[in-house]
Amino acid sequence: MTPDPASRLRRRLLGAAAALGLVALSQPLAAPGAAALELSGEPRIAFIYAATARDGGWNEALDNARLRVEAELGVTIPTVESVPEEATALKNAIDLLIRRGFNVIVGTTYGYSEGILEAAQENPGVAFVNASGATNSDNLEGFYVRSYEAWYLAGMAAASVSETGRVGILGGFPVGVVNWDVNAFALGAQAVNPEIDVIAVYTNSWWDPVREGAVTRAMLDQGADVIANNLSSSSPFVAAEEAGAKSIGFQLDMSQHAPNGHLTSVVFNWDQHLLPTLAALKDGTWEPNPWGAFPSMADGVVALSPVSDLVPAEVRALIEETADAIKAGTFSPFDGPIHAQDGRVVIPEGTRIDDAGLWGMDFLVRGVTGTLN
């Protein structure tokens, strides 16, 4: 008697479940070794993006790094674009790349954190790195950068040119990585003008140029004459230019969007992080940091684009000096005492914020007009 289709299906499902069970059982046997990752061959690198690579902001900064790595190493690095921030879709893309022989996978968004961790566990011979990723393992390292260091300098530039004594900054969502930029910007501005009024507005979106333009116009109506854009669309620059206001960009050099009022941009140079990582991978000495890589301005991964002549020469010199102090480690924007908006001390005098404090930053500093919502 031939089995009916239903029972055949059931048997197949049972087989699959058994296979999964075996995988689950074998998992703890693979001891988490502290040894450096041994790649199966020469590094073959591929990038995966959640949207188009040339997006004028976050992805484009990473893609510029990809091009520089290509030039530096003399290799071709293909990209996969518009892979949704969802584990199944991401793992499909990764599987395809691995089957085609790629053994270094570069993810580019926080949204890949979970999927890329699963892929890393399933492919122990492949190296994974993920920009702004929150997961790490034996062969996966998330990386971000101490962007607040450069935002502090940008705040100094902003305050030095403000005639109204009021500057604005637009952010996306009130999460640690945005809050530290906003706070550092405010602290830098206060270093130049202690009375400066910093308006911070979160748009609760990474992508809404219409709203970003409207928020910018609202800030200009309130008397702000410098607009710092912690997001990537160009509409805040357009609105600022129209009103004759100054502006500060992020991620890429945004001077093309604001030919008259652009002061400087906080720019990422991810190649400065990727090149050493790839060199270590090639030498077989790469050991992912269990807390993720967190390079700084001293590593060249974040920097200020050339500061405009609109900024007074003595302030430009001060920015230079402060940058050197930050790089040397003698100064950090979050050296105490730092007060929150309500006046309570969040970083006591004589202490410096630690990385946990940075990632969990859930306050705005004194002197900022705005709320975390």
Partner 1 sequence: MTLAFLTAWAGAVPGYMTPLLLASIGLILCERAGVLNLGIEGIMAGAAMAGAVAALAGLQPARALAAGTGAGLLVSVPFIIAVVVFRAPMIPAGLALVAIGLGASGALGRAAAHKNFAGLGNVGFPEALTGLPLVGRMLFAQDAVVYLALIVAGRASFVLFRTRAGLQLRAVGEDPATADASGVDVQLHQLAACIVGCALIGLAGAYLSVVGSRTWTEGMVAGRGWIALALVVFAQWSPLRAIAGAAVFASADALIPRLQTLGVDVPVYLLSMLPYVLTIGVLVLFAALGWHRQGEPGHLGRAYIRQDR
Cα dihedral sign, 358-150-132-74: negative
By CB under 8 A, residue 61 contacts partner 1: no
Q: Is 214 in the site for partner 1 (CB under 8 A)?
A: yes
Report the site for partner 1 in 221-250 (rule: CB under 8 A): 221-222, 224, 232-235, 237-238
**Chain residues 80-99 in contact with partner 1, contact rule CB under 8 A:** 82
Q: Give the CA distances from residue 150 to residues 112, 157, 272, in Å, rounded to whole numbers and listed in that order.
A: 26, 11, 16
Single out the segment in contact with partner 1 by CB under 8 A; choices: 110-118, 146-154, 215-223, 302-310. Answer: 215-223
Q: Is 211 in the site for partner 1 (CB under 8 A)?
A: yes
260 touching partner 1, by CB under 8 A: no
Q: How far apart are CA 168 and CA 196, in angstroms?
A: 11
Question: Where do the DSSP E strands lie in the chain?
Answer: 45-48, 79-80, 104-107, 127-131, 140-143, 166-171, 197-202, 226-229, 246-251, 262-268, 302-304, 338-339, 345-347, 368-369
Which of these segments, 83-91, 114-122, 204-212, 270-278, binds partner 1 (CB under 8 A)?
Answer: 204-212
* Neighbouring residues of 93: CB distance < 8 A, sequence distance ≥ 6: 48, 80, 83
Q: Is the CB of 257 or the CB of 316 nearer to partner 1?
A: 257
Contact between 370 and partner 1 (CB under 8 A)?
yes
CA distance 232 to 245: 18
Q: How far is the CB of 16 from partner 1 (least distance, A)?
A: 31
339 binds partner 1 (CB under 8 A): no
Q: Which stretch binds partner 1 (CB under 8 A): 16-24, 54-62, 124-132, 349-357?
A: 54-62
Count of residues touching partner 1 (by CB under 8 A): 40
Residue 171 CB contacts under 8 Å (≥ 6 apart), including other chains: 178, 179, 181, 182, 200, 201, 202, 203, 230, 231
Quick check: 232 and 172 in contact, CB under 8 A?
A: no
Q: Binding to partner 1 (CB under 8 A): which residues in 117-156? A: none
The answer to whether residue 219 forms part of the interface with partner 1 (CB under 8 A) is: yes
Nearer to partner 1, 108 or 296 (CB): 108
Residues forming contacts to partner 1 in the complex (CB under 8 A) are 51-52, 54-57, 82, 168, 199, 201-205, 207-215, 217-219, 221-222, 224, 232-235, 237-238, 257, 369-371, 373
